[in-house]
């Protein structure tokens, strides 16, 4: 078993793992989404007068649809689909009226789910570390020890491909170096087993399979993937035989590049 995998399992199954992880992925109470008084009035009229097309037309403009329905994403793409599919619109509106106007508003104004906010948290944590966060030109010239590349995910990908010849298809979460040796990686906080979380894990592990460019590749994983149970996700990191580890080991890893 890879040393970093072994150490991550040890840390995650010992005392204080989740307590320490909150420094990387802090959970805060998200504010609820808000509707203007004018928007509430428009929705109220469409709801009360059973104007189904108008109600759906207004709801698909919002960031949060009040109910979960597999057809909504399609309807969001073009207003004409609302006119083209009266039976679907009728079915969705019947569901919405069944829960009532106030419950509809609660669904619209529901706070943003934590899973949808995870992405930027890792990069915010990197910015708090003791190592310099440098723009591309400075980063390329820096030879004094550990440094982290500053920039958006697209800028990190561009540097990895154009300068490090990494041939990445997806955007990395970190590009770092130590004494001229570079590393690129994806960071994931996996909150449960299976489904979309399994896809996220596979995306991170896919990064490790390419050998393009003179750069080390890592998957920085946290969450349930380190729990010692017999399932696909845990088994995948054990069998990867690559540098896969918790964010809590990142500084140690960079120091050993």
Site of tokens 């989740």: 18
Is residue 237 a contact partner of residue 244, using CB atoms and an 8 Å limit?
A: yes
User: DSSP letters along 168-211, please?
Assistant: -SS--SEEEEETTEEEEEEEEEE-SSSHHHHHHHHHHHHGGG--
User: Residue range 50-62: average pLDDT?
Assistant: 96
Question: Predicted confidence band at 181 (pLDDT cuts at 50, 70, 90)?
Answer: very high
More confident position, 112 or 240: 240
Distance CA 1, CA 241 (A): 6
Question: Predicted confidence band at 111 (pLDDT cuts at 50, 70, 90)?
Answer: confident
Q: Output the average pLDDT for the chain.
A: 93
Distance CA 46, CA 105 (A): 13
- Spatial neighbors of 106 by CB under 8 A, at least 6 apart, are 66
pTM of the model: 0.77
Residue 244 DSSP SS3: strand
The answer to whether the Cα torsion of 6, 7, 10, 12 is positive or negative is negative
pLDDT of amino acid 194: 81
Distance CA 90, CA 98 (A): 12
User: Residue range 240-248: average pLDDT?
Assistant: 94
Distance CA 217, CA 166 (A): 9
């Amino acid at each position: 078993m890879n040393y970093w995998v072994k150490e991550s399992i040890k840390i995650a199954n010992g005392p204080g793992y989740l307590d320490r992880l909150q420094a990387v992925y802090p959970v805060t109470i998200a504010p609820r989404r808000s509707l203007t008084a004018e928007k509430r009035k428009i929705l109220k009229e469409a709801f009360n007068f059973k104007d189904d097309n108008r109600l759906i037309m207004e709801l698909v403009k919002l960031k949060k649809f009040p109910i979960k329905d597999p057809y909504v994403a399609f309807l969001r793409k073009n207003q004409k689909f609302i006119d083209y599919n009266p039976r679907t619109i009728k079915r969705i509106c019947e569901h919405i009226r069944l829960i009532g106007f106030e419950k509809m508003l609660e669904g619209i104004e529901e706070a943003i789910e934590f899973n949808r906010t995870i992405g930027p948290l890792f990069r915010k944590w990197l910015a708090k570390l003791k190592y310099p966060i440098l723009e591309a030109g400075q980063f390329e010239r820096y030879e004094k020890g550990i440094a982290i590349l500053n920039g958006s995910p697209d800028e990190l990908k561009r540097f990895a491909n154009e300068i490090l010849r990494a041939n990445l298809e997806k955007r990395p979460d970190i590009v770092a170096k130590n004494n001229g040796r570079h590393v690129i990686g994806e960071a994931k906080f996996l909150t449960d087993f299976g489904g979309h979380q399994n896809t996220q894990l596979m995306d991170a592990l896919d990064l490790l399979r390419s050998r393009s460019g003179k750069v080390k590749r890592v998957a920085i994983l946290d969450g349930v993937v380190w729990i010692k149970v017999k399932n696909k996700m845990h088994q995948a990191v054990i069998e990867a035989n690559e540098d896969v580890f918790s964010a809590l080991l990142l500084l140690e890893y960079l120091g050993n590049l």
